[in-house]
Amino acid sequence: MTFRAKLGIGVATVACLLLLALPSVVSFYDARTRTRLLAVTAGELPIGASMDEMTAFLQRHTTRYAVDVVYHHEYVGVAPRTRVDSMLFDRQVQFVLKLSDARTFANTEIRIYYTSL
């Protein structure tokens, strides 16, 4: 077998390994991000917090935020992007603060979006 053939097989093997490993690495990174942000929310925002407390929380931890009290009863903020987020297919992380009927804090959800592949 020639050097060129061995090199081609080596490159193909590395490419296959990267294609198989990338989804696992991204999934692990998403899970770690979600866990970290949920811990931040749990540590700073008590259940039943007022709209003013939620606004202050989102001002500290997000770049922009908006509230939807008509349809979904959510207060959503977009977390600042990191350098890794830019490299990972334009990744966007959102804090979603769920509101109760009394418009107080009920729970948190972290949503992660990839806007281009």
Tens of pLDDT, residues 35-76 = 999 999 999 999 999 999 999 999 999 999 999 888 889 999
CA distance 117 to 115: 7
Residues 79, 37: contact at Cβ < 8 Å?
yes
CA distance 41 to 63: 16
Three-class SS state of 44: helix
CA atoms lying within 13 Å on the CB side of residue 105: 24
Q: Please tell me the predicted confidence (pLDDT) of residue 117.
A: 56
Q: Which among 116, 111, 64 has a CA at the least distance from the CA of 89? A: 116
Higher confidence at residue 64 or residue 2? 64
CA atoms lying within 13 Å on the CB side of residue 71: 0
